[in-house]
């Protein structure tokens, strides 16, 4: 813990910098050891030149993506949005292919989706002459965890302050969803403001939470628990903040939490009784390891449940792990192993996606063939899955002490 605190509580940055420094040093030593002493200086100079090239390549890609972000503000035509969407993700996947950083990819993607959402909301509002109350657009699911990719099914909900005629809300929702579809965003079809269950004023949302808490309807609880992973995309920040405070109050209720914990415990961590990977036994992905079912879902839902148990209101798995460590609800070792697991799963996810063509369903992409992994990669994956099981046990213990 002393080392962790010495690094400003940011074990994400610490581990990344440490590993880069070790890898760079080892590479330099390996190259220099092959030469006579007189050649060491030239070797180090070569390495420095290579680093300068990499730095310039990184900056060039960053400038390209920053330019595309700025262009969004001036969009008025559907073709412009489609072109920017395609160009942005081509650049983002190219950045990942070169630098291998899920954190950088998701940071870029989060910024892009927020700007894109603000643009879609602006264009949707322009189609409506009536006054629209202050409102906010929020994302759930992977986008709510700040893990959006080109293939991610984005889940959307809308909340406003005061009252709005249902016809006005329905029309705005239709215009908004149309713009998202136009630019190429894949939506979770039944989880958008087009569905009346995913739009409403603050008072309407409170009534929904109250009713769900009383009735304990499993299907309703499951749907509302999507909000355990949510973040604002666009609109009035004050409305979004009040909604998040409201939702956290109810989602932390034992009826809600017990539903999520129960479903989390039913999720497998991907390791079978014999210690091997649970592979698909039939269908088009026979023999492959399903990353979505056995890696992402159990990891994300376990972290979300632990956060609800401790009333932690933070977006993003790495940020949640950091906050749980800060308040003393998760030990550093498990948090760091969980972060490694998250990075492991995300690296495989992005590697699989960068080989896929636009329009494919993420559920058909996220299948990893064990034969494509080296022995070291297989061991890393197995350790990551074991960490998920440790998180599930931590969640179960925390729930046992929950009041």
Q: What is the pLDDT of residues 233-258, one digit of tens each?
A: 999 999 999 999 999 999 999 889 99
**Does any domain span residue 163?**
no
Question: pTM, whole model, 2 decimals?
Answer: 0.87
Percentage of residues in the chain having pLDDT higher than 90? 70
Q: For residue 48, is it within any domain?
A: no
pLDDT in tens, 170-203: 999 999 999 999 999 999 999 999 999 999 999 9
**Within a domain: 376:** yes
Cβ-proximal residues to 115 (8 Å cutoff; 6+ apart), any chain = 69, 72, 73
Distance CA 132, CA 193 (A): 15
Residue whose token pair is 């262009």:
71
Average pLDDT over the chain reads: 88
* Residues 82-108: tens digit of each pLDDT: 999 999 999 999 999 988 889 999 999
DSSP, collapsed to helix, strand or coil, labels residue 56 as helix
Q: Is the pLDDT of residue 16 over 60?
A: no
Domain with 300, as residue range(s), is 254-403
> What pLDDT does 33 receive?
64
Residue 277 falls inside a structural domain? yes
Q: Is 39 a member of any domain?
A: no
Count of domains observed in the chain: 1
More confident of the two residues 3 and 246: 246
Alpha-helix residue ranges (DSSP H) falling in 184-329:
202-215, 218-224, 237-251, 254-266, 291, 297-309, 317-326
| Cα(209)–Cα(73) distance, integer angstroms | 36
Assess if residue 99 is contained within a domain: no
Residue 369 within a domain: yes
**Taking residues 35-50, what's their average pLDDT?**
66
pLDDT > 50? residue 285:
yes
């Amino acid at each position: 813990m002393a080392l962790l605190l010495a690094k400003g509580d940011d074990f994400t940055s610490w581990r990344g910098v440490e590993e880069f420094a070790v890898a760079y040093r080892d590479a330099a030593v390996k190259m220099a050891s092959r030469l006579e002493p007189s050649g060491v200086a030239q070797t180090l100079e070569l390495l420095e030149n290579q680093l300068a090239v990499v730095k310039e390549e990184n900056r060039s890609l960053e400038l390209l993506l920053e330019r595309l972000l700025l262009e969004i503000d001036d969009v008025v035509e559907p073709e412009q949005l489609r072109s920017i969407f395609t160009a942005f993700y081509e650049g983002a996947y190219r950045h990942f292919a070169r630098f291998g950083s899920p954190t950088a990819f998701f940071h870029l993607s989060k910024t892009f989706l927020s700007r894109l959402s603000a643009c879609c909301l602006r264009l949707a509002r322009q189609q409506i002459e009536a006054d629209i109350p202050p409102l906010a657009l929020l994302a759930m699911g992977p986008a709510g965890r700040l893990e959006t990719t080109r293939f991610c099914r984005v889940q959307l909900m809308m909340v406003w302050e005061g009252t709005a005629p249902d016809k006005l809300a329905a029309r705005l929702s239709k215009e908004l969803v149309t713009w998202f579809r136009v630019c190429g965003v894949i939506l979770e079809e039944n989880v958008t403001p087009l569905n009346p269950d995913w739009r409403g004023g603050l008072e309407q949302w409170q009534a929904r939470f109250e009713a769900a808490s009383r009735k304990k309807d499993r299907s309703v609880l499951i749907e509302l628990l999507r909000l355990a992973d949510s973040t604002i995309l666009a609109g009035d920040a004050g409305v979004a903040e009040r909604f998040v405070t409201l939702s956290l109050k109810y989602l932390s209720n034992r009826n809600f939490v017990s539903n999520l914990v129960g479903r989390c415990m039913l999720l497998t961590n991907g390791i079978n009784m014999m210690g091997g990977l649970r592979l698909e036994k039939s269908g088009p992905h026979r023999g492959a390891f399903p990353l979505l079912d056995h890696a992402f879902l159990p990891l994300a839902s376990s972290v979300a449940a632990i956060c609800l148990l401790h009333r932690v209101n933070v977006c993003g798995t790495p940020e949640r792990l950091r906050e749980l460590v800060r308040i003393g609800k998760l030990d550093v070792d498990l948090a760091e192993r969980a972060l490694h697991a998250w990075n492991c799963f995300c690296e495989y996810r992005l590697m699989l996606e960068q080989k896929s063509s636009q329009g494919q369903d993420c559920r058909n992409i996220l299948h990893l063939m064990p034969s494509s992994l080296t022995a070291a990669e297989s061991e890393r994956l197995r350790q990551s899955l074991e960490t998920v099981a440790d998180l599930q046990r931590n969640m179960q213990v925390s729930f046992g002490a929950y009041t």
